[in-house]
Amino acid sequence: MTRIKLRPFSREIEQPGRAPLRIAGEISGLAFIVMVIGREVELRTIDVGSDNRGPYAIVEEQEHELAGRIRLHVEPEYEEETDPGGQVSLVLPPDPAVVRGVAEALGLNEGDHVLLPIQRGVSVYFNSEGVMNGVGWAGATPEGR
């Protein structure tokens, strides 16, 4: 299992026409807790400590099922010229309206089976030192891109 270094963080992510999405992480005792969509998820934590940048936790790569088929992923983030960092991602189920629209455009019937890569999500990225260094949307963003 890949080990990922995370530090406490808090970020509000804008969603046009909706309230901002708040995602945060903190160390509580010997565990790293991620707070998102009204839930607290305790990550499998290998170690906690502190260095010149402050407190950190070492966690395993993992996935947690949340409400409504929403999943929380914690996985490595590989960058070309640096040691791997990590990402904490909230993966949303496909939007039924988008799936219906694609099926109609392809002339598919309700009983037809097809795999569509219409996954949406937002990720918070961390460098190899566990410092948050960005946010990004995957798939369809709130703006419809």
Distance (Å, rounded) from C-alpha 13 to C-alpha 10?
10
Is residue 110 domain-resident? yes
Q: Which domain holds residue 34?
A: 3-138
| Per-residue confidence (pLDDT) for residue 107, from 0 to 100 | 78
Is residue 56 in some structural domain?
yes
Q: What single-letter DSSP state applies at residue 94?
A: P
Q: What is the DSSP letter of 36?
A: E
Residue matched to tokens 């918070």:
124
pLDDT at 99: 65
Beta carbons of 12 and 20 less than 8 angstroms apart: yes
The pLDDT, as a whole number, for residue 35 is 96
Tell whether 108 is covered by a domain: yes
Instruction: Compute CA 108 distance to the chain's CA centroid, rounded to the nearest angstrom.
Output: 32
* Alpha-carbon distances of 36 from 21, 78, 105, rounded to whole Å: 8, 24, 35
pLDDT tens figures, 66-85: 987 789 999 999 878 888 89
Domain for residue 81, yes or no?
A: yes
Is there a domain that residue 31 lies in? yes
145 occurs within a structural domain: no
The residue among 61 and 117 whose pLDDT is bigger is 61
Task: For residues 9 and 132, give the distance between their C-alpha atoms in angstroms, rounded to a whole number.
Answer: 7
